[in-house]
Amino acid sequence: MPKPLKIVLMSGGPGAEREVSLRSGAGVAQALRSLGHAVVDLDPQKPDWILPPATDAVFLALHGTYGEDGTVQAQLEKLGVPYTGCDAGASRIAFDKVLTKQRCVAAGVPTAKYLVVESARTPWPLGWQPPVVVKPVRQGSSVGLHFVDRVADWPGALAEALRYDSQLLVEERIVGRETTVGILDGTALPVVEVRPKTGSYDYQTKYTAGATDYFCPADLDAVTTRRVQDAALGAFRAIGGRDYSRVDVMVRAHGEPVVLEVNTLPGMTETSLLPKAAAVAGIGYAKLCQRMIDLALKRSGGERMGDNTAFTAKICVATMS
């Protein structure tokens, strides 16, 4: 058994993915407690929060705005407390789909053709043909995502997606197999193929048990598997990732990988993909959670904080919106 620690489990938060985050947090808390750790639940939905004395590490089970955009990471860095996952800089880049695209292009990582839109009155782009995908630049879990199969649907998709962000990413819609690659401590885990039973892999199908079939390892030949994993690792490195992430990759008919995005705090629910891939690699759920904590502590030398130290983070309301 690992050495017992006092771990603060942060989940919930103020973002659009609050409910999924709470589900991730519940699973992680149960796993950490089964390992003998003392787990303190903390829901940072209010403008200030306090870490209890003698906190050894913070496990981030937050998703979306505030949790994955680098805000909470920057606060924890100021406090000097070890926390799981990517640092503030990499989180900020990965959460911004345009910055991620720019990093991938610069690093030679294959990604889809794209443009940025900031107004619902933007005309259909010259030289483009449907179908396209419209996404808020700074959201996760397919929040605000729309597939546009006809030019006539373009204005409505823009208007709806702009409810979630002031900028939209428009991409060519890649036809192929939908896969995702978990990354743990610099190693690509087995590829997971995602096949929704109906429609697309949107927010609803992601988090509804039984709505999607998952195949891990994906039924890809060895060469294609390596290409997909290499593309995922390339994107992870391009955004400056550390410890773990999940990279979504489309695979064209001839085996060409196309990176969609990097998720720095991937879901840890019963339907989440990183735990599925880790399990196939022989890393059970509780062991995976422990590895995430171990990686965080390794950066701090594994030292505990003083018993009389309390941390207060005063976060202005503007950063929580």
Question: Is 257 in the same domain as 295?
Answer: no
Question: Is 183 in the same domain as 97?
Answer: yes
- Amino acid 308: pLDDT: 32
Which of 18, 92, 138, 246 is the catalytic position?
246
Contacts of 266 (CB under 8 A, 6+ apart): 182, 244, 245, 246, 272, 273, 274
Burial of 235 (0-12, 13-18, 19+ CB in 10 A): buried
Which of 171, 263, 272, 285 is the catalytic position?
263
Question: Alpha-carbon dihedral of residues 44, 2, 265, 113, nearest 10 degrees?
Answer: 170
| C-alpha to C-alpha distance for 294 and 305, rounded to whole angstroms | 15
Which of 11, 21, 24, 141 is the catalytic position?
141
78 located within any domain: yes
Question: Is 59 in the same domain as 12?
Answer: yes
- Long-range pairs for 126-134 at CB < 8 Å and ≥24 separation? 128/172, 130/173, 131/173, 132/170, 132/171, 132/172, 132/173, 133/170, 133/171, 133/172, 133/173, 134/158, 134/161, 134/168, 134/169, 134/170
Question: Is 194 in the same domain as 248?
Answer: yes
Q: Calculate the alpha carbon distances from 38 to 26, 46, 285, 287 in Å.
A: 14, 23, 18, 16
| 48-85: pLDDT as tens digits | 899 999 999 999 999 988 999 999 999 999 999 999 99
**Residue 127 sits in a domain of what CATH number?**
3.30.1490.20
Question: Is 13 in the same domain as 73?
Answer: yes
Which of 17, 56, 96, 165 is the catalytic position?
17
Question: Is 235 in the same domain as 99?
Answer: yes
Q: Is 263 a catalytic residue?
A: yes
Pairing of β 6-10 and β 57-60: parallel
In this structure, are residues 87 and 69 in contact, taking their beta carbons and an 8 Å threshold?
no
- Helix 285-299 and helix 18-34: axis angle, to 10°? 90
- Amino acid 207: pLDDT: 55
Question: Is 39 in the same domain as 139?
Answer: no
Complete DSSP assignment for 163-222: TS-S-EEEEEPPPSEEEEEEEETTEEEEEEEEEESSS-S-HHHHTSTTSEEEESS-S--H
> Does residue 208 register a pLDDT over 70?
no
| 221-266: pLDDT as tens digits | 999 999 999 999 999 999 999 999 999 999 999 999 999 999 999 9
Question: Is 52 in the same domain as 191?
Answer: no
**What is this structure's pTM?**
0.88
Q: Is 246 a catalytic residue?
A: yes
Amino acid at 104: C
Q: Is 207 a catalytic residue?
A: yes
269 located within any domain: no
Q: What is the helix (H) or strand (E) element at residue 234, kind and residue range?
A: helix 222-238
Domain that holds residue 118: 114-172
| C-alpha to C-alpha distance for 120 and 135, rounded to whole angstroms | 13
| C-alpha to C-alpha distance for 202 and 196, rounded to whole angstroms | 9
Question: Is 103 in the same domain as 145?
Answer: no
Q: Is 304 a catalytic residue?
A: no
Strand order in the sheet with 168-172: 114-117, 168-172, 132-136, 146-148
Which residue shows structure tokens 């879990």? 141
Contacts of 303 (CB under 8 A, 6+ apart): none
- Amino acid 46: pLDDT: 81
Residues 279-288 have a mean pLDDT of 97
Question: Is 18 in the same domain as 75?
Answer: yes
> Does residue 303 register a pLDDT over 90?
no
Counting every residue written for the chain, the total comes to 321
Q: Is 308 a catalytic residue?
A: no
Which of 12, 261, 272, 285 is the catalytic position?
261
- Amino acid 318: pLDDT: 31
Picking from 272, 48, 26, the residue whose alpha carbon sits closest to that of residue 140 is 272
128 located within any domain: yes
Q: Is 248 a catalytic residue?
A: yes
In this structure, are residues 220 and 256 in contact, taking their beta carbons and an 8 Å threshold?
no
| 100-159: pLDDT as tens digits | 999 999 999 999 999 999 999 999 999 999 999 999 998 875 788 999 999 999 999 999
Read off the DSSP letter of residue 257. Answer: E
Report residue 285's pLDDT band, with 50, 70 and 90 as the boundaries.
very high
| C-alpha to C-alpha distance for 240 and 277, rounded to whole angstroms | 22
Report residue 198's pLDDT band, with 50, 70 and 90 as the boundaries.
low
272 located within any domain: no
| C-alpha to C-alpha distance for 84 and 295, rounded to whole angstroms | 7
Question: Is 313 in the same domain as 181?
Answer: no
| 85-98: pLDDT as tens digits | 999 999 999 999 99
Report residue 310's pLDDT band, with 50, 70 and 90 as the boundaries.
very low
If one counts the domains in the chain, the total is 3
